[in-house]
Structure 1
């Protein structure tokens, strides 16, 4: 039927832009971006919802709460960690390389360490990382209970290192600031009462030497791997 000549012509309604459906992947993407750009404290369900141009209630259909979101962030980071195929002849170096890879990833995502502290990682990728680390330990003959405790101790050490670095990074200290602090700290140790702290005074230089990053981290992984090697069954 033809339109009546006196009937007003209805303007065409502009098509609404199609919204990309909300998924767990998109939520984790947005949360990870906030984590890297603004730090762990900035990551809340409300802020993630704002970044996705939606309301917090929409997020809860995909993520139960902030605790689960932390798990998802840790799991996202875990997928980038590298673990070699177990080699009984080189398991100690493989374990060290695995710890270096874990720290490298956590440095790439400042704030992930804070999300991981105090949690038992139960995501699929995090569990795969645990499985691969257990395989390296068992290839080296580490007893079952020691291996089980080691896969708790190792991430705890790496996570604590990364978390400490992220806290120090937030201070925005320059090289000169760090050198000045170390000099003051050494002077503090040297000025302690000698009758109460003779060894601390004697080791004042050693206590304030070594870089805050890789050098001390390497010492830690050497101690951990040497301790596990001493327990290995031959």
Structure 2
């Protein structure tokens, strides 16, 4: 007859570390880097953290809030100094937004999520503070600066989402080739505007177009009054 197995007291088991929002988000970032954003779910996190999904809802309301928190964590990689862009506020602003785009570009799924996510963490607030500070140096009224920073972020996010998705999509080259053939083949009688604006319609690198779009937006922000705004 075998000896009776002595039960192990709970007191002798290694204690699990207490959950915290920071630990949950750090784990989510690690999962995203290794497996992709689609794997960052409450259930997957609960398995990784050796707890029940219900425990996570004490710290995060839903998956959307979780993804927003992951985005905010990654925004800590944005170069807010502007990459040594000199003393010009315009160049600094361009450099900061370009760094923001590069962070999103590395994570296509996160870039798409950023189109609807509403980060509110400290890294996002630091980014917003920096953008407002730089744009305000243009001398534009505060309403234009406020709306302009939001517009610039939206455009940078959309650009990153578009091009990072294309970069990693298997059909991107085929799609581009099909579009190129289509616009080059239009009949001038039925599509005179397209014909008149070729080849400029498809010309230009991603970098050149981003810089031009940035300049267009900044010029518009600094010279277009906000409806009902003050001209201070």
Q: Please give the range of the TM-score, normalised by the shorter of the 2 chains.
A: 0.7 to 0.9
Displacement of 1:106: 1.4
Displacement of 1:88: 11
- 2:108 counterpart SS class: coil
Give per-residue Cα distances to partners, 1:125-166, cap 9 Å, x unaligned: 212221121111112212111111112111111111121133
Alignment of 1:71-220 (within 5 A): 71-84=68-81, 90-172=88-170, 178=173, 181-211=175-205, 213-220=206-213
- Structure exhibiting the larger radius of gyration computed from Cα positions: 1
Give per-residue Cα distances to partners, 1:91-111, cap 9 Å, x unaligned: 111111111111122123433
Give per-residue Cα distances to partners, 1:71-101, cap 9 Å, x unaligned: 212221222222239x996111111111111
Displacement of 1:9: 8.7
Displacement of 1:181: 4.1
- 1:79 counterpart SS class: helix
Contact preservation (8 Å) 1:96, 1:225: no
State the distance in 2 between where 1:23 and 1:206 align.
53
Contact preservation (8 Å) 1:117, 1:159: yes
**Unaligned ranges ≥5, structure 2:** 226-230
Contact preservation (8 Å) 2:31, 2:39: yes
**Unaligned ranges ≥5, structure 1:** 1-7
Stretches of 4+ aligned residues off by more than 6 angstroms:
none
Count of aligned pairs: 221
State TM-score, norm by structure 1. 0.79
Displacement of 1:12: 8.1
> 1:37–1:13: structure 2 CA closer, same or farther, 3 Å change rule?
closer
> 1:38–1:169: structure 2 CA closer, same or farther, 3 Å change rule?
farther
- 1:94 counterpart SS class: helix
Indicate yes or no: 2:31 matched with 1:34.
yes
State the distance in 2 between where 1:12 and 1:186 align.
72
Paired position in structure 2 for 1:66: 63
Picking from 45, 50, 56, the partner of 2:47 is: 50
State the distance in 1 between where 2:88 and 2:121 align.
28
Displacement of 1:170: 4.0
